[in-house]
Amino acid sequence: MKAFLILEDGTVFTGTSIGSKKEIISEIVFNTSMTGYLEVLTDPSYAGQAVCMTYPLIGNYGICHEDQESLRPWPDGYIVREISRIPSNFRCEDTIQNFLKRYDIPGIAGIDTRALTKILREKGTMNGMITTNADHKLEEVLPKLKGYTTGRVVERVTCEEKKVLKGSGPKVALMDFGAKDNIARSLNQRGCQVTVYPAFTKAEEILKDDPDGIMLSNGPGDPKACTSIIEEIKKLYDSQVPIFAICLGHQLMALATGADTRKMKYGHRGGNHPVKDLETGRVYISSQNHGYMVDTDTLNLQVAVPAFENVNDKTNEGLKYTGKNIFTVQFHPEACPGPQDSGYLFDRFMKMMEVSQ
């Protein structure tokens, strides 16, 4: 069956329908990873977005449920050049086509993803529609696209109740703004007892549980939409508990301490982004997924200083907070599979908790 991808600038791509046949409007973004498509699909940070994979062949090793970053996929839609219908992998448990259908996610295959990516790079991220309706009328569709917003997506992806991963080491409170499973797993593998809290948990409840450290997770959407969460993070900042934050958590901590964030032209999404440690000069290859960034021009340098920088475009990739046991990064040190160069940051967090005890 034919499918159509309509962008808000009026561009229309024609391809083949994959997954669900339902019609969706979403923010269209692209990811440059060559592998890890299942991790991309199950990353809660993609809630409210439709993902274009720039690598031309997707699905060739099938679906391996053990590799999922959450219990279900989160993107509104999926866009690929070619989808493999006969995967080959000894771990394969299903096809990506069946996976998309099971979770009612529509997609489109057979389009020129290079052309789509060029449009998004030149004009910036924009909204789009995936539809199988061959009789669509642009004059009716375009106003709908221009009016779409992702909304309060953190509410959709956070856990419903507190849960605990047992461990014999330090107690870590993990704020779930859309946390990938491997964040909790990375801490648990280091011996931590990890308690995962819903995103809107009050700071008083977390501090009452007397954690040795606090982790602020990744998540979807505009950080400025998380007004009530930012208020609670300010209270956590004022405590003396060590804090490590990733991605959305990094942005929320910056907002809680007086800095500003802004939307990027097309964001960073992929597994090969170089980041420089500004203290040592060493460069690490990182996995990233974000469309917003901390504006370092708005930083109070008595509160926080830049700690990491993107080598490609010089945007901020991390902050170190002055006089506090707090550091935050924009990239994903827990990413798996993918670059694990920055996994040492979890060890740094472990040492921070040891020193503060």
Q: What is the pLDDT of residues 334-346, one digit of tens each?
A: 987 677 888 899 9
For residue 145, give both structure tokens.
């696209």
Instruction: Please write the tens of the pLDDT for every residue from 290-314.
Output: 999 999 999 999 999 999 999 999 9
For residue 282, give both structure tokens.
């060493």
Instruction: Please write the tens of the pLDDT for every residue from 110-129.
Output: 999 999 999 999 999 999 99
The catalytic residues are 247, 332, 334
Distance, in Å, from the CA atom of 175 to the CA atom of 197, rounded to the nearest integer, reads 5
Domains of the chain with CATH codes = 2-146 (3.50.30.20), 154-356 (3.40.50.880)
Instruction: Please write the tens of the pLDDT for every residue from 313-329.
Output: 999 999 999 999 999 99
What are the binding residues for L-glutamine?
Answer: 45, 219, 221, 248, 251, 289, 291-292
Do 273 and 287 form a contact (C-beta atoms < 8 A)?
yes
Could you give the angle at which helices 248-256 and 227-238 cross, rounded to 10 degrees?
70
Instruction: Please write the tens of the pLDDT for every residue from 240-267.
Output: 999 999 999 999 999 999 999 999 999 9
Is pLDDT above 70 for 357? Answer: no
Instruction: Please write the tens of the pLDDT for every residue from 124-165.
Output: 999 999 999 999 999 999 999 999 999 899 999 999 999 999
pLDDT value, residue 341 = 85
Identity of residue 36: G
- Residue 153 has φ and ψ, to the nearest 5°, of -75, -25
pLDDT value, residue 337 = 61
Q: What is the mean pLDDT of residues 2-6?
A: 98
Give the residue among 189, 248, 264, 191 at the shortest CA–CA distance from 215: 248
Distance, in Å, from the CA atom of 204 to the CA atom of 199, rounded to the nearest integer, reads 13
Buried b (16+ CB within 10 A) or exposed e, 23-60: bbbbbbbbbbbeebbbbbbbbbbbbbbbbbbbbeebbb
Is pLDDT above 90 for 355? Answer: no
- Average pLDDT of the chain is 96
Task: Give the model's confidence band at 109: pLDDT under 50 very low, under 70 low, under 90 confident, else very high.
Answer: very high
Neighbours of 132 (CB within 10 A): 17
Q: What is the mean pLDDT of residues 261-279?
A: 96
Instruction: Please write the tens of the pLDDT for every residue from 30-86.
Output: 999 999 999 999 999 999 999 999 999 999 999 999 999 999 999 999 999 999 989
What are the binding residues?
Answer: 45, 219, 221, 248, 251, 289, 291-292
Task: Give the model's confidence band at 183: pLDDT under 50 very low, under 70 low, under 90 confident, else very high.
Answer: very high
